[in-house]
Chains A and B, each alone.
Chain A
Amino acid sequence: MRHERDAATRRLSGGERFVLALLVVTLFAAWWTDIRPAGVAPRGGNASSGRTNGAAFAPLPPVSAVTEATAPDTTYPGAGVHTRLTLEADPAKVRRELRLVREMGATWIVEYFPWLYLQPDGPDTYDWVHADLVVREARAQGLQVIARIDGVPGWARPTGTTWKYLDAAGYPAYARALAAFAARYRGAVERVIVWNEPNLSLEWGGRKVDPAGYAAMLRAVYPVIKAANPQMEVVAAGLAPTQASEQSAEGLDDLRYFVRMYDAGAGQYCDALSIHAYGGTAPPDANPDGGNRVFRHAEKQRDLMVARGDGAKPVYITEGGWNDSPYFTGAVRPAERVRYSVAAYRYAQMNWPWATTVALWQFRLPEPANSPDDNWTFVTTDFTAKPVYEEVQKVLRSTR
């Protein structure tokens, strides 16, 4: 007992205190790096971390300060491609891909920035890391970026709905996210597409499509984006070139949808329109009366714009092209894909002065899809230039 009491009452020696302090620090480090609850993750970071709180509407110095490269060498300044960098995490690969875009002779990219990746944790925080990377690298290559933003985070929609579901109650949160993007990339990104193909039920959260509902979405987000960055062009979503009937559960014919969207006032709440111009199995100069999946079907939508007094607004062809998969019924032969893609850029350059850019779908996939999706690309996943890349490059580059 005496021994126990002595042991219990003695002071810790200096060495023991040092070791004890070391152990406490070790325990804390272990807790911080491995065991801590997710909710204790750092918040409200600064621009260098890429994580900001909701109030951080200031432009991002690292991105907008990047010296923009000189415009790419091209015979057609409107040439563009839709990139698929969303899931490309490796900065070196992002840089390499965008350099290949420039070297092909394209000057525009359309890129998807999912809202659910920008605000995964809630309405008050943003994760800008990947968006910063893409925007910075695109500017470094002298490329113009058209940003498409949609995809609803779980916290912004009712339980059990898809990530494409957003009802009117969620429009303010969506507007704030778009405005935050517009403010952050002021001077670096000048166009933002609101939603994607809302004339498809799949893209409208599994609901019956609703042109007036989409017009209401534009009406809700437009003033908020403009307040954050008056220079940001608000671009109405490209419509899927479907011929779905009124009774279809899958969607609605794009021209009918367009008319109703405009009748509901959509034209007042967008500065420009995007159009999806897929060529199906026809050459790019095929008569636009031949159906919705004809490259020149874009002219039909443009005619509707003009008829409604919106002829002065810019048009961006943000998707389009041909697929050459032997496993896809809507595909063409590989030689046709090459010739049609080259001819499409040429056709637009010669005949579509109203189209600021023609961005064909899609430049590269970060991983092979092992499906016909692979047959839209211009370069392989491992950055090997496909023949379509080289042939387009041949006509777009004035000096090689």
Chain B
Amino acid sequence: MNEERGRTAKTPRTPRRYRYDVSPLRGIPWRSWRLGGSSVFAILIGLVLLVPFVGFLREVPANPALPPPDRSWQIVRGRGVLRVGMDFGRPPFAFTAPDGQLVGLNVDLARDLAARLGVRAEIVNTPADGFTDALRTGRIDILVSTLPPEPAFRDIAYSAPYVEIGERVVVRADSPVRVPDDLAGRRVGAELGSDGDLALRVLARRLPLTRDSDYDTDTAALAALRAGSLDAVIADGIGARRAVAADPGLVMLPQPVRPRTFVWATKRSATSLTQQTDRARADARADGTLARLDARWLAG
């Protein structure tokens, strides 16, 4: 009010009269704005129309249809080094050999991957509880470790499986059993408490088989299989591979009883790097490298 009076003193004006009798707006100094009721009304409509965009702008800073340019592959190529994360305490995937060297399936895969990309592999010890954080913070470019697919993390891109270690059925080479369902009516064993035992108990809930999972070790169960007191043994994927590799009298069914796979992971935003590593993995599968390394480390 004082402000208006002062202005009036300098520049006399013809006072205008406005009528504002819409109660929610009473008391607001519209007069100094020189706006009418319809103008206020139009502004409010405009504000309301903007409301839906407030949240949108807050949460999605850029148009999702136009992601920011991804330089992940460019950075790796420029650096000349691919930083590959893995847990070093996971034999036979990654572990320290008696001579102090880091060895294992994941180690060989990482080196093969880097070679295919024309860069050097730098292997970074990444404990399991830090897998995703290491990717998110950029400590590593890719994770090649014993990671099951976890679609819960939307910011992580999971590759197709590079290894299958689900529990397998091992039978004698002359067995008529071809698929797990053929175990109905048969006597099936496993090491007590093992993943094979868990798979067997789950299978026994839907198949009328005789479960014998009182063995202290896989080895004892496999001995019973060879001796004929069992028709099949269910063991984890690595144990089954090793059993059949060591004994030509045993075979492993190709179909896992309980599928379990490991995958590689990259940041979802690292699209160009992911394309490169996906291509390299497909090449490694096509030229037999994956199968060769699988046989070397998991069945050896």
Contacts and interface: CB of A to CB of B under 8 A. Distances in A.
Whether both chains belong to one complex is answered with: yes
Interface string B60-102: 0000000000000000000000000001011100000000000
The prevalent SS among residues of A at the interface is helix
A23 B17 CA distance: 27
Interface stretch (B19-27, B107-115, B170-178): B19-27
A52 to B, nearest CB: 30
A21 B24 CA distance: 9
A216 to B, nearest CB: 33
Nearest to A373: B129
Given A12-B41, A386-B198, A371 B127 contact: yes
4 nearest interchain CB pairs? Answer: A8-B36, A334-B193, A371-B128, A335-B192
Nearest to B190: A387
Interface stretch (B180-188, B210-218, B282-290, B292-300): B210-218
Contact of B36 (A7, A333, A338): A7
Interface string B9-29: 000000011110110100000
Contacts of A2: none
A20 B129 CA distance: 54
A52 B119 CA distance: 58
A184 interface: no
12 contacts: A17-B22, A27-B47, A30-B51, A334-B194, A335-B217, A336-B193, A338-B193, A370-B148, A387-B201, A387-B213, A390-B201, A391-B192
A367 B150 CA distance: 10
B191 interface: yes
Contact of B21 (A11, A27, A333): A11
A367 B45 CA distance: 47
B47 A34 contact: no
B44 interface: yes
Interface in A326-367: 326-327, 333-339, 367
B1 interface: no
Interface of B: 16-19, 21-22, 24, 35-39, 41, 44-45, 47-48, 51, 54-55, 87, 89-91, 127-129, 131, 146-148, 150, 152, 191-195, 197-198, 201-202, 213, 215-217
A20 B41 contact: yes
Nearest to A388: B193
A12 B213 contact: no
Given A20-B41, A30-B51, A333 B216 contact: yes
Interface string A260-295: 000000000000000000000000000000000000
Contacts of A247: none
Interface in A1-18: 4-5, 7-12, 16-17
A233 B198 CA distance: 39
Interface of A: 4-5, 7-12, 16-17, 20-21, 23-24, 26-27, 30, 34-35, 324, 326-327, 333-339, 367-371, 380, 384-388, 390-391
Contact of A16 (B19, B41, B193): B41
A370 B48 contact: no
Contacts of A337: 193
A324 B193 CA distance: 9
A23 B37 contact: no
A21 B129 CA distance: 53
Contact of A367 (B21, B128, B152): B152
Contact of B55 (A23, A35, A380, A384): A35
